[in-house]
Amino acid sequence: MVHRGYARAAAFVAIAAASVILAAYGGPSTTHASAAKGPVRISLWESHSPGGPPGKSMVALVNLFNRTHRGIQVELTVTKASHKLLGAFAAGDAPVLAEVSHYDAAFITAHAIKSWNPYLSGAGGMSAVERGAIFPVTWTNGQVNGQHWRLQANVKVSQLSYNIGLFRKAGISSPPATWAQLAADVAILHKRLPAVVPLAWKDSSAHILPPFLSNGGTLFAPGSHEKKANFVTPAAVETFTFFRRLYANHQMIFAHGSEIRADFAAGKLAIADGTSAGYQKLLDAVAGRFQIGVIPFPAGSTGHTANLAQGLGFVLVAHHTPAQYRAAATFVQWWFSAQPQAYWGSRSGYPPESKLALSAMPSGYLRRYPGISVAVRILESPYTVARPVATAYKEVQGSLDAAFFNAVTGKASVMSALRSLETQANAYLSGSSAL
Amino acid sequence: MISSRAAFLRSFTRAMHGPRSIGATLREALLGYGLVMPSALIFLVFYYAPAAFLAYISFFHWNLFVNGNQFVGLRNFEILANQPLFWRSLFNTAYYVVVLVPTTTLLALAFALLLREMPNLRSGGLSRALIFLPHVTPVVATSIIWVWIFNPNFGLANAILGFLHLPQLNWLQSVTWALPSVMIYTLWHSVGLYTVLFLAGLASIPKNVLEAASVDGGHGWFAFRRVVWPMLGPVTFFVIVLVSVNTIQTFSQIYTLTGGPSSLAGGPAFATTTDSLLIYQTAFLYQHFSLASAMSLVLFVLTLALTLIQKLLADRIVFYR
Amino acid sequence: MRAPLTLILRAVIGMAWIFPVYWLIVVATGARGSAYSIPPVFVPLFHFLPVASVLAHTHLLQHVLNSVIVTTSTIVLVLFTGALGGYALSEVRFPGRSLYFLLALGVMMLPQQALMVPQYVVLYHLRMLNTYAAMIIPFATSTSSIFLFRQFFMRLPTSYRDIASVEGVSTARYLWRVALPLARPAVAATVLLTFISSWNMFQWPLVMISSKSIQPLEVSLTFYMQAFEGHWRQLASVALLALLPVIGVFALTQRYIVSAVAGGELAQKE
C-alpha cells in the first residue's frame, strides 16, 4: 500500500518535472506534414454555433467540398476563433484559413494574414461571371487599397420585422417607407394598442449608422483619409433627435437581440429592429403563430434608405505553403459558386452572397421568406456600404453606441453627446488610443 | 531518473525520525519541497509563466509573433491613463466591489445566524442547501433565467415591483440599474458559499462560550456584539478577501447578462464595462493585446494592494482586540 | 429569536433562492411562452417533449463521458496535490514555505481574461492542445484545496504526529492512514468545489480543444443554448440538463461542506 503510494507520487513528480523541462526548452519541434503524399490538408477555424442552421450548413458544405475535391481536405474546427487565433499566432500553430469578423489592420501590419489577390486571379482563378455575380458590397467588404484581405463567408444587413396582425389591429395598412412615416405609425400603435411596445431598437452601431447615412451623414470627415469622424453634423442631430423623441414619448425601447425576439414572439412588440441573421431566430420564436412582415430601414432625408453590410470573412493566415493557399483559394472560389451559395442562402438563415444563387435556390423560397428576400434587395442597393475597416473603428462603434444611448434616453443632450463622441472617435481614429 | 526520484522520496520520508540535527533539518526541508512540488509546478507552468509573459508584453508593441516585438516602455500605460473608457471601467469595478463586498458579507452573516444551530432549534440544513445551490450552477445556464426576470416589460422583477406599487425599472436596459442588476444576480449566485463559511465560523465557537454569554444575561444583540462577533473576526476577514478577489474578477455574468456572444457586452453606454470585461474586449475584439496585458497588470496590482490593505486593517482590528 | 419566526424566515429565504431554478423547470416543461405570460405561471406542466428533443439532438452520452473523465481525474489529482501542499504548509518547516503560501494565494488574483493567450502557447509547447490532459493538468491543483487541507491538518493535535514519528511511521503512511481519514470533510469539500469548477468549465475547452469527440458536456450544451435561442422551452431544457448533474453531486456532498471549512484559521492550534 505504502510503496504503491511512493511509486505513484514518484511518477507524478517525474511527469511534472518532465513537463517543465519540455517547457523550458521551448517544446518539441513540430513537423508540418503537409508536403507528404495524399490530399492537401487545410485547417479552417470558424465560430458558428454547431447546433444552429449556419453551423450545420457550414459542416454540410465543407463535407460536400471534401467529397467533390479529392485533392483537398478541409479540416473544420468550430471554436472561439478570435481567442484561439491570438494564441495560435504566438505559438506558431495558426490554421490556413480562419473566419474572423472584421479583420484588424493589426493583422496586416504584423504580416499575419495574406492578400487573396494572387490566388484569385490568373489561371485557375475565379471566372469573370462568378466574380461579377457577387454583390459588390460583399465583394469589397474586406478590401483595402485594392487588396482583398478578407472574403465574406456570410453577410448580414440590418432590417425591420413587424407583426402584421398588430398593424392591422391598429388600422395601419402598409409598413412605413420613410422615417417620418415610421414615427407616425408608432404613434398610432402606441395610442391604439397601449399594451404593446411599438418599436424596439438596438443600441448598436449597425442600427444607428444606417439611419444616420440615410439622413445624409458620412462615416468619416471628407478628405480626412479615415482619420476623423463626422458626427457633429445636421444628419447626426436629426437622427439622434428622431429617436430621442420616440423614446421620450414611450414609443420605443432599447433591447438586445434575444429580448427583442422574445418580446416580439410574445406578441407584445409591433416593430423589431434586427439583422437578417436574426430573422431565422425570429421565425423560430414566433413559430407560425402570426404573420411577420419584413422591410428595409425607411428612407431618410436624402430620399433613399441606407445600410451597412457586415459578417464573418475568410482570411489566409501567414506561414503556410503555396499549395495550401491554392487549395484554400479553390475552396473559397467554390464557396462563391452557384450551388454552395444556393445551399447557404436557403439553409443557413443568411442571404446568399452571389446573384448566381438566386436562380439556383428552391423555387418560392424567397417569396416564403421575406427576411431573406429583403436582405438580398438591401445587398443589391447602391446605398449599402461595407462596415468600415479603419484601425480602431470598433472602438469608435462602441463610443457611438454609448453616445446614442445617452442622447436618446435623455442622459445627455444631443449636442453634448455628439461632441464628446466626436472627440472620442477622433482620438481612436488618429491612432493615439492604442499602438 | 525515476529511480533516483524514488530514492529521493524515500529519503525525505525518513526525515521525521531521530533527533533534530542539521541532517534532519535538511531532510525536513527536502520533504517540504517534495510535497509542494506538484502544485507549485502547476502554478508556475500554467499560471505564473503565462502571467510573466503578459507583464513582459505590456512594455512592448506585440506583433502577434514571438520575435520582433517593439519595446515601447511605459507607452501602453500612458495610453491607458489617457483613455476615458479605462477610467470608466475602473470606476465601474470599484462601484461593483464597494457595493458587493459589504452587502454580500452582511447578508451571508445574517443568513448564517438564521440558519445556525440554536439552543431550541436544529440547524436549517435544507435552506442552507437551497441557498448554496445557485453557487453550483453554471453562470451561462442560470443567467438566461435572470434575463427573463429582468425584462423591463414582461419580466417577473417588474411584476413584483408593480404588485408592491413601486415604480418599475428598466433593469439591464438602464444606465443606472444595469450594474445593480448584475450585482443582484451575483449576490444570488454567490452568497451561499459565504454563508457556509460563516456557518463554519459559528460552528467553531465553543458551545460553553455561547452558554456562558447567555447565562450572564447576554441575549440577542449583546451576546452577538460581545461574544460571537469577536470570535468571527478571522472568518469575516477571510470572507471579505474572498468576496473582494471574486468581485474584482467578475466576468461571466456581465458578459452573459449584458450582451452575450452576439452583441457588445458591457452596456448600455458602458455602464457595466468593468475592468475584466474591458481586458477581454481590448484583447479579443479590439485586438490590442499589449494594451490588454497592461490593463491586466494594473488590475493585478490593484487586487494585490486591496488584499494587503485588508490584511493590514485586519491585523489591527481583528487579531489584536 | 423565537423558533417559529426563525423557521418561517428560513423557509422564505430558501424558497426565494431556489425560485429561479424552479422557474427554469416551469419554463422548460410548461406551455410555450410561459416565461413572459402575465400574470406569471408558477406551476410546471411537465411536458417533457422539449427535453426529449434536446436529448435526441445532442450526442449527450459521449459528452457526459468526456466530462466524467475530465472531472474525475481532476478531482483525484487535486486531492493528491492539495493534501500534500496542505500538509507541507501545516506540518513541515522548510525555507520558502511562506513563498509557496503566497504563490498559492496569488494565483487567485491573476486576471484571467488575457491569460488564455500565453496559456495556449504553454499547452502548445507541452503538446497538450486538444487532449484530455489540457482540461486536467492545469487544474490539477487549487488554492482552496491546499488551504482546506492546511486548515484541517493544523487542527490535528501535534501529538498524533509525534506518536507516529516515535513509532517509526513514515510521512506517507501517516498522511494516508491518519491525517487524510481525519480530514474527510476537507476531502468532501474539495471534491465538491473541484467538481463545480471542472464540470462548469466552458471558455477553456472551447479554446484549447478542437475535436468534438473529447469536448465536455458543458461546451456542447452552451453551443446548443445559442442554437435554441428562439425556442425558449428547448433553451430552458438545455439549461436544465446542464444543471442536473451538478445538482446531483451537490445533493450528495453538500452536508459535509460546513464541517469541511470549519477549521484551520478559525481554531487555534493546541
Model confidence pLDDT, tens digit, residues B281-315: 998 888 888 999 999 999 999 999 999 998 888 88
Verify whether the Cβ–Cβ distance B141 to C196 is below 8 Å: no
Torsion of CA C135, A101, A260, A353, to 10 degrees: -120
Q: Which residue would you say has higher pLDDT here, A283 or C166?
A: A283
Interface of C with B in 39-68 (CB under 8 A): 39-40
Cβ within 8 Å, pair C117-A258: no
- For the cut 80, the answer to whether the pLDDT of residue B47 exceeds it is yes
Residue A191, C-beta contacts closer than 8 angstroms, at least 6 positions apart: none
Cβ–Cβ gap B154/A104 under 8 Å: no
If 0-12 CB within 10 Å is exposed, 13-18 middle and 19+ buried, where does residue A429 land? buried
Query: Can you name the residues that pair with A220 across neighbouring β-strands?
Result: A229
Q: What b/e readout covers A65-75, taking b as 16+ CB neighbours within 10 angstroms?
A: bbeebeebbbe
Domain B76-319 in CATH 1.10.1740.10? The answer is no
Chain C CA closest to residue A20: C126
Residue A304's SS3 state is coil
Which of B16, B48, B156 is opposite residue C171, by nearest beta carbon?
A: B16
* B219 exposure class (CB count in 10 Å sphere: 0-12, 13-18, 19+): exposed
Q: In the prediction, which pLDDT does B260 show? A: 62
Provide the number of CB pairs (under 8 Å) joining chain B to chain C. Answer: 274
Q: List pLDDT tens digits, range A134-180.
A: 999 999 888 888 899 999 999 999 999 999 999 999 999 999 999 99
Chain A: closest CA distance from residue C116 (Å): 7
Partners of residue C212 in chain A, C-beta under 8 Å? 50, 78
**Average pLDDT of span A257-263:** 86
Mean pLDDT of B176-195: 95
Report residue B176 as a C-alpha cell. 443606472
Using the beta-carbon criterion (under 8 Å), do B283 and C21 form an inter-chain contact?
A: no
Give dist(CA A179, CA B88) in Å, integer. 34
What confidence score (pLDDT) does residue B34 get? 93
Question: Cβ contacts (< 8 Å) between C146 and chain B: which residues?
Answer: 39
The reported pLDDT for the residue numbered C235 is 81
Cell of A391: 484601425
The residue of chain B nearest to residue A8, with distances taken between CA atoms, is B6
C118, C126, C226: residue with CB nearest A52: C226
Tell the CATH topology of C48-266. MetI-like fold (1.10.3720)
pLDDT tens digits along A321-352: 999 999 999 999 999 999 999 999 999 999 99
Query: Are the Cβ atoms of A52 and C227 closer than 8 angstroms?
Result: yes
Which residues of chain B have a CB within 8 Å of the CB of C257? 132, 196
Interface test with B, best of C220, C250, C258 (most B CBs within 10 A): C258
Would you list the domain boundaries of chain B?
2-45, 76-319
Average pLDDT of A398-402?
Answer: 93
| Highest mean pLDDT pick, A158-162, A202-206, B171-175, C154-158 | A158-162
CB-CB under 8 Å, A402 with B286: no
Chain B's closest residue to A206, CA to CA, is B263
Q: Quote the minimal CA–CA distance from C262 to chain B in Å.
A: 4
User: Is it the case that residue C152 has pLDDT exceeding 90?
Assistant: no
Comparing B12-16, B25-29, B75-79, the range with the smallest average pLDDT is B12-16
Q: Does A158-308+391-429 carry CATH code 3.40.190.10?
A: yes
Q: How far is A86 from chain C (nearest CA, A)?
A: 6
Whether the predicted pLDDT of A20 surpasses 70: no
**A263/B153 CB distance under 8 A:** yes
Using CA coordinates, name the residue in chain B closest to C147.
Answer: B238
Which residue, B108, B243, B112, B39, is CA-closest to C190?
B39
3-state secondary structure at position B118: strand
Q: CB-CB: which of A6, A19, A268 is closest to C172?
A: A6
- Looking at chain C, which residues constitute the CATH 1.10.3720.10 domain(s)? 48-266
Note the pLDDT of residue C39. 59
CB B257 within 8 A of CB B185: yes
Q: What residues form DSSP beta bridges with A386?
A: A309
Give the residue-averaged pLDDT of A1-19. Answer: 44
Cβ-defined contact of C227 to A90 (cutoff 8 Å): no
Q: Cβ A16–B42 below 8 Å, yes or no? A: yes
Task: List chain A domain ranges.
Answer: 40-156+310-381, 158-308+391-429
Mean pLDDT (whole number) for A92-118: 86
CA dist C63 → A79, C68, C244 (Å):
16, 9, 14
Distance, in Å, from the CA atom of B90 to the CA atom of A275, rounded to the nearest integer, reads 33
With H, G, I as helix, E, B as strand and everything else as coil, classify residue B303. Answer: helix
Nearest 5°: phi and psi at A155? -135, 140
What class, spelled out in words, does domain A40-156+310-381 have in CATH?
A: alpha beta
pLDDT (0 to 100) of residue C228: 75
- Find residue B88's DSSP bridge partners: none
Q: What is d(CA B256, CA B16) in angstroms, rounded to the nearest whole number?
A: 52
CA distance B311 to chain A (A): 33
DSSP letters along A234-283, please?
HHHHHHHHHHHHHHHTT-EEE--HHHHHHHHHTT-EEEEEEEHHHHHHHH
Rg over alpha carbons for chain A, rounded to the nearest Å, is: 25
Partners of A160 in the β-ladder: A273, A295
CB spacing of C13 vs B151 below 8 angstroms? no
